[in-house]
Structure 1
Amino acid sequence: MEKSMSAGVEPGQGLNWPLLFTAACGFALYWGCFFTMLMRNSFMDGGVELLWYHLFLRVVFLGGSGLACVIIARRADWMASERGARVQKAGAWMFSVVAASASLAFHSIGAALPLAFDLVAWGLAGMGLACLLMLWVELLAAFPAPGRTAALLGAMALGAPAYLVMNLLPFPFNIGLLCVSPVLSLGMLRVLEADPATVPAAFVPLAESRGRARWGASFKGTAVAYGVVFGLGIGSTTRIAASEPLFTGIACLLALGAGAAWWGLRRLPDRIRQGGSFRLMFPVLIIALIPMSFLQGLPAVACNLLLLGCYVFFEAVGIDLALTLAEARRASRVHLAASAQACLYLGLALGHVIGLAATSSGAMDYATLSAAALALVVVLAVFVTFAAVAPLAGEGPRGASVGAQGEGGGAEPGEGGFQARCEAVARGAGLSARETEVFMLLARGRGVEHIQNKLCISSHTVKTHVYNIYRKMGIGSREELLDAVEGD
């Protein structure tokens, strides 16, 4: 029997791969700029060699990014308007202007710029890049779930070589590329928005969204704590002398983190999207932090880079989770994504602050900081294992159950009416008894992994049943299945 099945639940989606590739390339320009700002001397300011200065400016950059995300999350309705989109695009332009002005001023006077100037510049740069990120998050919501995930992870993977090129080019080409990249990214965003194949996702008012989906307090707290660990690891790379091998290693780990997220979302979609990424990273974090507590030189550098790969994995999964839950719960995409990013930026900033305070005061060296980060990871492991860390507020210990490809939704209030509608649809489509069981679980937002465990059948059998269900119902996606149940 011929099947057109993806690795998840959906059969042939009719994905527009040229459109997705364009989106990945445009979004990759953002990641190239962000990684450059986060990892090395942004604005290519080679005259500043003080470790504390780099860390301090990075804290301001992350603070600006977090502040912008908080504003966007709280004003999600206005940001979704045409005027709000223009303001966010102006923010992206602001990054290019600030980066160009700061770099040209430094190279013109040949001396370090005043601290107050740098603080303003880095804060505005962080806000500008956060605006660009949210614009791309909103665009990704227009794609079907499999394509959305592919575009997101492809963009992060392509952002790694973009980072490498930005850091290896000589002045003024490096700063020129850094300044032009957000503008080019906005141009590709506009091309995609104007393409008839890009159908924007439905607008969801913030008032309605909050009633359907809100991040749980334990989930947000855990995300901040992980950000602290990543901030300590990323901040410690600043003490390593800049070199081509270091830039190459950073680029490789950035790409590896995106690849690991792709593998996880393909192989363990339900587990990852129910907060399982917290647990999956424990072994890797411990492997990275234990050697950092007593090793120096190249082994310590390798451990730093491994933490960077974990951060990219966490970042990718977090954005995918926000978009998946927003689609499943019919909630505001911008609000969920911006809120999650604000928590992560807060953790990263706190990690840099702790590293800055400890090393500048002489209270701790990086080996001791690594041991403290390891202790924090152990505490997190115990907390996540024994406490119910559900992504959304008001959920049970297992968290949100969303489909393997991110589509579907939970049962509506009134379980009896929902059950009756599902049974009526199943009878009308002529589904068999087993297909009806699978159909009922699909309608509740369950994915392949959950269904195979629930019914004690293989994933291949589940996909076969899903294919037959879609064929008999004459549909091609989980969203159409839900529309059939809801009578849309």
Structure 2
Amino acid sequence: MKVKKAHVRTMLPVASAGLACFWAWFYFALLSPYPAEHAGKEASLYLKLAFLVGMVAAMLLVYAKRDLFSRTERDPLPRAAALLTLPFGLFNIMAHYLTVSPAAFAIAWFLAGCGFSLIFLLWPKVFMVGWQKDVGAYLSASALAGAVIYLFACELRPPYGDVMLVLLPLASLTVLQYVRTHIVGSEQEPEAPLEQTRLFPLTGFTVAVFGALFGIALYLLCANLSAVDPLAIAAAIACGAGLHLALSVLVKRYLPFGTAEKLSLLLLVVGFLGLAFLGPNLMLVCCLFILGVYVYLDFSNMSALVGFASGHPSPFWRIARGQLVLPAGMITSWIVCMVIEHTNPSLFAYVPYLALGLLLALALLAAFVPFKDNTFADKTVKGEIVEGGYFKQRCNQAAQNHKLSNREQEILYYLAKGRNAQFIADELNISAYTAKTHVYHIYQKMGINSQQELISIVDSTEIVYQ
């Protein structure tokens, strides 16, 4: 039976709901005491470290093997991701009735981390098809919904809460499969390599340092989860995602990652100053504040990577390359914290000062080698950053399909970016009447009545990748 397909823009709310289940599972695994309570407090930190190591291991595999992900053939990776996440939930359910060895738990957490990375890399298959600047808002909206689901899962008593560890990733993968089979262009893939972006060389290093800083706060938070209300954790997640959502929608619809780094640097200075000088009573409050910053920067990074990878022949390799440094930095600081706590616990009081030293190094780096906004290689003739990969090519193809003149094609670029007739007239040094006449002729040739219809046509135009 032929499946009726919709444009990806109409499916983004559904996709956000599926991604919300994924984030709820991640938050519930790391930031709830229930999944690791069978192992005890100390062992739970090792299990969560195994989860982080699994995340990095899977991303390294994708980085080493570029053709692991395929959009054209029957994709086995959703099933693989489901199988990797199943032992995690099943072992937690079994632990209520049987004795599960610590080694089995450690393997299950490691495999769950691998499954997390596979699902994380699968979702861009949806968001990259019709990437525009507001996709970041849909990503952060999924985190907001995920925080609500996380709170609901925390209210369930074992073993019912452990059932959520099984159901949430399966629900996310089910929605992913549904969306991918019901959107236009989900299987198109470039045939030849083409660099889509210019990346700032120090971005990977700075993100790794940010990851190390977040790892310190997450370690402190996970070591004291029994003293933290899940509502406070959900509120911190919502604040971070809400900040990204607000900046995405209200400011520029796409906040460049270099700007996001500067804002995160400032917020982290506030958080770690609080950890260093406000005393142990407010330690968890500061950790929750830093958790919100982590959520904000993580989604800024993810939004940038999805945009950067759009139209690239190895998009998931690019996303894995850009994302793996964040958990790698978290693993490094997590291990350092564990070593300090086990060898000389009194030195742990100096960890916030170590974090402030890293922040000072980042500030000096920003002063002498400023964080640069990674910019899209695909630009208009005016050099403006445009809405997504292959924007100009899609406009050219749409103009060719509807037999527009050269001047009308030039005006089409501006219309597809949401510009009005007066703006076009000022840019092209023509009268507003002439600009409106060209717009009228474009609408007539394309058989449309509004600018929104024009934008939808350009978004859905399929191009031959050169």
**Which TM-score applies when normalising by structure 1?**
0.76
- For the structure 1 residues 275 and 204, does the alpha-carbon distance in structure 2 shift closer, same or farther, using more than 3 Å as the test? farther
Change (3 A) 1:241 1:62: closer
Q: Distance in 1 between matches of 2:359 and 2:388?
A: 29
Quick one: structure 1 residues 58 and 45, their matched pair in 2 at CA, closer, same or farther if it must change by over 3 Å? closer
1:351 aligns with 2:333: yes
Counterpart pick for 2:190 among 204, 215, 227: 204
Q: Go from structure 1 to structure 2 and tell me whether the alpha carbon gap of 1:57 and 1:481 turns closer, same or farther (over 3 Å shift).
A: closer
- The residue identity in structure 2 corresponding to 1:277 is A
2:455 aligned with 1:477, yes or no? Answer: yes
Q: What does residue 234 of structure 1 align with?
A: 218
Q: Deviations for 1:300-346, whole angstroms, at most 9, x for unmatched residues? A: 2111001101111111111110111223x645331221212211111
> In 2, are the aligned partners of 1:24 and 1:151 still within 8 Å (CA)?
yes
1:447–1:56 CA distance, 2 compared to 1 (3 A): farther
TM-score (norm 2): 0.79
Q: Aligned equivalents of 2:436 and 2:19: distance in 1?
A: 33
Aligned to 1:100: 89
Structure 1 residue 219, shift from structure 2 partner = 0.8
CA deviation digits over 1:52-109, x for unaligned, max 9?
x22222221111111111212333333115667313432223202x123321342224
Contact 2:196 2:376 in 1 (8 A): no
Equivalent residue, structure 2, for 1:11: none
CA distance in 1 between partners of 2:258 and 2:68 (Å): 30
Q: Who is 1:291 aligned against?
A: 274
Distance in 1 between the 2:111 and 2:347 partners? Answer: 31
Deviation at 1:164, TM superposition (A): 1.4
Which residue in the other structure is 1:178 paired with? 165
Counting matched residue pairs gives 428
Unaligned runs of 5+ in 1: 1-13, 396-400, 412-420, 457-464
Question: What does 1:59-138 correspond to in 2, within 5 Å?
Answer: 59-81=49-71, 85-96=75-86, 98-109=87-98, 113-138=100-125
**What is the identity, as a one-letter code, of the residue corresponding to 2:455?**
S
RMSD: 3.9
Q: Choose the corresponding residue for 2:41, options 30, 50, 62.
A: 50
Cα distance in 1 for partners of 2:351, 2:82 equals 35
Change (3 A) 1:108 1:378: same
> What amino acid is the match of 2:41?
L
Is residue 34 from structure 1 mapped to residue 20 from structure 2 by the alignment? no
Output the CA distance in 2 between the equivalents of 1:484 and 1:185. 28
Q: Could you tell me whether the CA contact under 8 Å between 1:404 and 1:447 is conserved in 2?
A: no
In the alignment, the residues of structure 1 paired with residue 346 and residue 205 of structure 2 have an alpha-carbon distance, to the nearest angstrom, of: 25
Deviations 1:127-146 (A, max 9, x none): 01111111112122223425
* Preserved contact between residue 192 and residue 198 of structure 1 (Cα < 8 Å): no
Q: Distance in 2 between matches of 1:229 and 1:62?
A: 15
Give the Cα separation in 1 of the matches to 2:439 and 2:388.
17
Match of 1:428 in 2: 407
Amino acid at match of 2:62: I
Question: Does the 8 A contact of 1:253 with 1:308 survive in 2?
Answer: yes
Amino acid at match of 1:50: K
Q: Does 2:320 correspond to 1:320? A: no
Q: Tell me if the contact between 1:94 and 1:128 (Cα under 8 Å) persists in the aligned partners.
A: yes
Letter aligned with residue 167 of structure 1: C
Instruction: Give SS of 1:85's match.
Output: coil
| Residue 367 of structure 2: aligned partner | 385
In 2, the alpha carbon distance for the partners of 1:192 and 1:482 equals 16
What is the alpha-carbon distance in structure 2 between the residues aligned to residue 203 and residue 487 of structure 1? 8
Residue 219 of structure 1 is matched in structure 2 by 203
Q: CA deviation at 1:184?
A: 1.5
**Structure 2 unaligned residues grouped into runs of 5+:** 1-6, 378-382, 394-399, 428-433, 444-450
Q: Does 1:250 align with 2:230?
A: no
Q: 1:308 to 1:274 in 2, by over 3 A?
A: closer
Query: 2:12 is matched with which residue?
Result: 20
Equivalent pairs: percent with the same residue? 19
Distance 1:258 1:137 in 2: 18
Change (3 A) 1:270 1:263: closer
2:242 aligned residue (248, 259, 274): 259
Helix, strand or coil at the partner of 1:477:
helix
Matched residue type, 1:236: L
Q: Is the 8 A contact 2:37 2:44 kept in 1?
A: no
What secondary structure, in the 3-state scheme, does the structure 2 residue paired with 1:208 have?
coil
Which stretch shifts more, 370-379 or 386-395?
A: 386-395
Tell me, yes or no, if the aligned pair for 1:134 and 1:334 is still in contact at 8 Å.
Answer: yes
Deviation at 1:403, TM superposition (A): 3.5
Which deviates further from its counterpart, 145-154 or 221-230? 145-154
Mapped contact 2:204–2:322 kept (Cα < 8 A): yes
SS at match of 2:255: helix
Q: 1:255: Cα distance to partner?
A: 1.1
